[in-house]
Amino acid sequence: MHQTDNRTFTFKLFLWIYALLYVLAGLNHFISTDVYYAIMPEWLPAHSLLIYLSGIIEIGSGVLLLFSGVRKLAAILLIVMLISFLPAHIYMIQMAPFMLGKILITPIIAWARLPLQALLIYWAFYYYNK
């Protein structure tokens, strides 16, 4: 395999992983809806609408990432969505420790989600630039 072939393979592999991550996360909004209600700040309106809309955006963006002609749009949607999730992550930090279903969300776990969001935003920005 040539270096160009390796780069192409790696690019496609991580693109598929990133896309699949969002499709699965989006589906989870419809399967485990109660989890998302638990982490939404009370001041946000229309919790159900926001949960289902974000699930649709995640699924749609994940699929769109796979098509080069709309990859930039998908990346922008993901970046905006990930930034819009920040209030929920801050709310989780304020609530920690708490049980989220069967998972104990400790302060460390809640804080760790912020750098994870930054990584996911960077990853989307990477695909925006490709």
pLDDT at 2 over 90: no
pLDDT at 3 over 80: no
Six token digits for residue 5: 């072939």
Question: Side chain identity at 46, as an amino acid letter?
Answer: A
How deeply is 13 buried, as exposed, middle or buried, from its count of CB atoms within 10 A (0-12, 13-18, 19+)?
exposed
Mean pLDDT on 57-71: 98
DSSP string computed for 45-67: S-HHHHHHHHHHHHHHHHHHTTS
Mean model confidence pLDDT for the chain: 95
- Please give the model's pTM, rounded to 2 decimal places: 0.90
Domain ranges of the chain: 3-84+114-128
Could you read off the pLDDT of 67-95 as tens digits, one per residue? 999 999 999 999 999 999 999 999 999 99
- From the list 84, 81, 78, 85, the residue with the least C-alpha distance to 128 is 78
Residue 46: left (phi > 0), alpha (psi -120 to 50), or beta? Answer: left
